[in-house]
Amino acid sequence: MDASALERFCLSLPGAGLAVQWGGARVFKVGGKMFAILRPADPARVCFKCSDLSYDVLTEQPGIVPAPYLARAKWVRLEALEILSRQDLEAYLRQAYELVFARLPRAERARIAGER
């Protein structure tokens, strides 16, 4: 998966938005809360929120590290997008989205669900 495909996938999730922050990082949000961050440098890197189990499994793999500044909230960073297959990366990004979506206020979740 390349950076543009990753961006298209993240923005295809209901209610997902994009903000460019921190010197060009592409920050994907739902309900104003981050679920993934793409740094489209060479190589492109992505950080995303994980469940506790996914965090433990992913950080055991080479090329996947705890995300700087966000590790205590169970975020990981892939040193290159090719570390995971497209299917696996999309599944983890969808999980990141769902984790953040689930913690939004009920009214915000209902608003986003109504847009689906």
Distance of CA 5 to the CA centre of its chain: 13
**For the chain, what is the domain count?**
1
Tell me which residue range forms the domain holding 91: 3-115
- Its pTM stands at 0.92
C-alpha to C-alpha distance for 69 and 67, rounded to whole angstroms: 6
Q: Give 59-68 contacts, CB < 8 A, sequence gap 24+.
A: 67/37
Average pLDDT for 78-92: 94
pLDDT at 116 over 80: no
Q: Taking all residues of the chain, what is their mean pLDDT, rounded to a whole number?
A: 92
* CATH number of domain containing 91: 3.90.1150.30
Query: From edge to edge, which strands make up the β-sheet containing 45-49?
Result: 16-21, 25-30, 33-39, 45-49, 75-78, 64-66
